[in-house]
Amino acid sequence: MTQAPLQIARDEPVLFASDLHLSVQGRATVDDALEQIARHARQAAHLFLLGDLFEMWVGDDGADAMAAGFASLLTTVAKAGTRVWMMRGNRDFLLDVPVPGFDGGAFSQHCGATLLTDPFSVSLHGEATLLAHGDALCTDDLVYQQWRQTCRNPAWQQGLLARSLAERLVIGRHARESSEAGKREMAGALMDVNQGAVDAAMDGAGASLLIHGHTHRPGLHRWQHGAQSRTRVVLTDWDASADRGHLLRWENGLPRPIERLAR
Ligand SMILES: [Mn+2]
């Protein structure tokens, strides 16, 4: 890990979200996410966005007006004193990856945010905690893991980013359609995390708490691993049309989901 360990004191409330899947097609979800962040971020010392912020990200040069609006809100939040952190997901694995010939700067900088490695260790209110998007833990899905290795390969990424933005948008849309088709056909269990992979990741980080998204199976799981009691918190995905999506607040060492306002 290249980043210094982050210590978050017990009196510092934290907000988590992942899998917002922001897109121009899902305007209601964008509005909902912006509203919740605007309303709650001020009371939080940290805001963690754990991947799949965007439905599709074909390079930082492809940031559209919707992405710019999101960045502008996060900048306001950061300027008001909340530290903003973001992680790449499987949809936005090209976030902050330098695009040849583009000098517009990394997207996280436009958000006043810091990009995290996946996974990332923090001390959260005194508990050794591992933050992750979650896709790397779904090790039963061998086809996906192979794709993950490919698309995280720097040489492969540079090859893709050397193509024009228009070309990458076409490729991205095509990939998205085939991935949606694949998901429908796949057995449900393959889409969840593998318990062995979870325990191995937590062993490696010395963590007793894991917070991730990706699986779209929000919940809180507790189990015993040897002498250690462990917790895994899964963040919800966001879809305003299905009334889904909320920030998770961590306060005094405990999770407290923030209810969505009825619309
Ligand atoms: Mn994901």
Domain boundaries, the chain: 9-257
CATH of domain 9-257: 3.60.21.10
Residue 11 CA to ligand 1 centre (angstroms): 30
Q: Tell me the CA distances in angstroms from 69 to 81, 101, 147, one per residue in order.
A: 19, 24, 31
Ligand 1: centre distance to CA 28 (Å): 20
Length of the chain: 263
Q: How far apart are CA 89 and CA 52, in angstroms?
A: 4
Mean pLDDT for all residues in the chain: 93
Query: CB within 5 A of ion ligand 1: which residues?
Result: 52, 89-90, 214
pLDDT tens for 132-143 read 999 999 999 999
Residue located via tokens 């917790």:
231
What is the bridge-based pairing of β-strands 46-50 and 14-17? parallel
Ligand 1 geometric centre to CA of 189 (Å): 16
If you measure from the C-alpha of residue 141 to the centroid of ligand 1, how many angstroms do you get, rounded to a whole number?
13
**Ligand 1 mean position, distance from CA 214 (Å):** 4
pLDDT score at 176: 80
CB within 8 Å of 89: residues ≥ 6 apart: 18, 19, 50, 51, 52, 53, 133, 135, 213, 214
Q: How far apart are the first and last CA of the chain?
A: 42
For the segment 215-229, the average pLDDT, to the nearest whole number, is: 95
Question: How much distance in Å is there from the Cα of 19 to the middle of ligand 1?
Answer: 6
State yes or no: pLDDT of 225 exceeds 70. Answer: yes
Global pTM reads: 0.94
Average of pLDDT values for 72-77? 98
Question: Where residue 1 falls among pLDDT bands split at 50, 70, 90?
Answer: very low
pLDDT in tens, 80-102: 999 999 999 999 999 999 999 99
SS3 of residue 209 by DSSP: strand
- Tens of pLDDT, residues 16-54: 999 999 999 999 999 999 999 999 999 999 999 999 999
Cβ atoms of 47 and 41 closer than 8 Å: yes
Radius of gyration of the chain (CA): 18
Distance from the alpha carbon of residue 227 to the mean position of ligand 1, in angstroms: 31
